[in-house]
Amino acid sequence: MNGLKNFRAQAIIFDKDGTLIDFDMMWGGWVVYLAEQIKAVSGLDVCEALCFAMGFDQKSRKVLAQGKLASRPMSQLYHLTINVVQSFGLSPTEAECIVEKAWCIPDPVSLAKPLTDLRTLFSNLRDHGIQIAIATADDRPSTQAMIEAFDIEEYVAAMVCADDGIPSKPAPDMVLTICERLQIDPSRVMVIGDTASDLKMARAAGAGLTVGVLSGVSSTKDLNSHADILIESVDELHEYILWLDRTESERLQQGLDPDFAY
């Protein structure tokens, strides 16, 4: 938490899954369910192969930090699933037909468990003049459904999703696009994410503060070399807001403009 206190962000760009909401609850059982749907359609038992390809440990029921499920967009996971089905001796056309019939996505509302009170957090950040954005490897319809379900749409100033036609993480484009839309220099932006791809994206874009969060799929070892600081959860940002309150109060008592001082 102490590392946050020396950076006055003009905007915070959040990853979604694993950062704002519980990753394993949203995606953990999806691979197994998708495999069951494929078996129902085709009779093929692809569960073990699909879990391995996606990067999901069935025994621990955890998404693996370095696996494709942790950071790849849905379009790539769709084609990966076709490849897995094809590996059972089917033609590309047969495999694609099966996956098209079986394909499903996690329910972005019922399975989304927020990792803090997002409405309170976002409201307080905006009250301090900090703009809020989301950069996610998920698609726009499901992301939009989540923010509407949590009643936080009014606080999200910009959002970039995997199906927006913008190069995805770890390329810097998502952060740079958001900064351009918000008219903020990347050096004044804090980026928070739970994977190395999130943090590499932030570094490549020249973000002012790159924050790794340990509430998702990654460990300290996974993130340490890519982050300026690590926090356990975005819940710690409530303390960051308290620090902003104290800092601004002290500057007002000294007769300084707190915004000018930053």
CATH number, domain of 196, equals: 3.40.50.1000
Domain C-terminal end among 46, 74, 102: 102
Residue 255 inside a domain? The answer is yes
Point out the domain boundary residue: 77, 102, 127: 102
Question: Tens digits of per-residue pLDDT, 218-247?
Answer: 999 999 999 999 999 999 999 999 888 887
Residue numbers of the domain that contains 33: 26-102
Task: From 102, 130, 161, give the residue that closes a domain.
Answer: 102
- 177 confidence band (pLDDT: 50, 70, 90): very high
Nearest to 220 by CA among 210, 209, 231: 231
Give the count of domains, the chain: 2
Lowest mean pLDDT segment, chosen from 21-25, 78-82, 185-189: 21-25
Instruction: Please write the tens of the pLDDT for every residue from 162-171.
Output: 999 999 999 9
What's this model's pTM, rounded to 2 decimal places?
A: 0.84
Residue 107 in domain: no
pLDDT at residue 258 tops 90: no
Shared domain check, 36 and 18? no
Q: How many CB atoms sit inside 10 A of residue 25's CB? A: 13
pLDDT confidence tier of residue 261, bands split at 50, 70 and 90: very low
Q: Which neighbouring-strand residues pair with 160?
A: 135
Q: Are residues 140 and 30 in the same domain?
A: no
165: region left, alpha or beta (phi > 0 left; psi from -120 to 50 alpha): left
The strand pair at 62-63 and 229-231 is best described as unpaired
User: Which of the four pLDDT bands, split at 50, 70 and 90, describes residue 257?
Assistant: low
